[in-house]
Chains A and B, each alone.
Chain A
């Protein structure tokens, strides 16, 4: 079987049905009959169009030999997206659903290849909005070089879900010789991020509108597999990469400290932070260390290659503002701390609850 060529539209083997002629989704579109086929063809199949999806069997069929060309281990992940609002500055739930799963594969050193897309739709949602979100998924998939090869659609009654929830699962292949893990940090290692922190969390909160704050902050939602490829090409010594999504930078730092039994210390002066985001947090009493990102990774690299890693990140369009923000210390084990700009030192703990609900 051919490898999909994302971005290139191929005609499916089955003729697409006529399409949906009503403005809003009804329970009939989830009934398993013609209306459902109309919706799937009109909204999803036409947007995702690729040869693995085209037969529309109950499963995508992928050649093992093709997979093996990319590395020696399969990576498999799943993520669900319930962001509110569905569209926000810098992205929408469709783009987020692709980038989130692509990034979860890429941070493990995998080349993301195939994704599934399952949509749970609340009756009453505009079909045009679904078309737009599906196109956004297709664009994000093309940008990330992955294909959406299988999926599912359910429609639920009013109030049973909030407009639209999407689950994407993804498979990728981990390149040989790469073994990234949170347990590998050792005292002396450097900690890096690939740019400005907290944009996604701030953009979502502002987009909800209930704070009546106007900002120009856009979500940083982006597929990071290209950036991570460039990093690992230049710096195969990198020990650990994780995307700093829910819970923000602070959560990843704690995960490193806990898994490796080390201390982690960052320098507030080194943190890349947009002035607007800093101001936004100031007004609302939020801490940017805990704000979600959808296009930022935290990297642990041996000190000897830290500068090389930073240079590799900075050379990529999604890493222009990369910085070395701190280092791994010998203790206290499990504890992340920060030298404050003010000259003090504070602990950076995990959040107990959610700083903000439904950000991804």
Chain B
């Protein structure tokens, strides 16, 4: 992911009414169809060499995350160390893509990660609810960037989106993007609260039009987080957006992805819908914590031929 300022798109809807017309003019999503397609892709059988390749790619795509009230500097330092060397026993094991923490923990993580190439993401904008005044959200964002975060995971105001106030959501994203400066902006749609696939598609486009570098499914704090069909809708959105505006946007499913098998289903889905261009940590991330150890366990199984117990992998 390269940190460059994003130019405004030409041909954008230029009033709230235009924005509404545009978003409601997008093709609908058939619920039965999209779920069937996602389920069918989930039956692909990925074995041997392709499994090994997929596991290493998935490790490189992990945003290793801790977002707890109980987070302490010690915990964040441990997590950051793990991000650099996920498997201390195997130097060929790649680092993860990024560490993702609350703004208060950013300086602690930055001290460990500095110069390593592992990105530092911070949630911001009154994560996870987004229910705070705009100036608070912007201050939150600026603090995180000043502390060393080079990626900002913001939440949209779902209340405003569901009320149909798309202009409000759009303006907020634009403002946060500006406050984030050189940092990459991931926009969390919190799809579990949006209710329909049509809304997921509209929110994806809204975020991309407003300047998101990544669109992200969830905070991990509600009951429905990332699912394959929701991520498929978002992948279709970034594919269509690039076709229309020539700009590529990344996708990050987050929450609920815990096993290697699940992660591989996502990689298969990318491969067969948007293609190669998104099969890179620059364009696809997994927001996860427990996923990493399962990936490491499967990786070891592939090299040694047997499963090692959980004590052979480090605690986060």
Q: Do these two chains really belong together in a complex? A: no
A interface with B by C-beta (< 8 Å): none
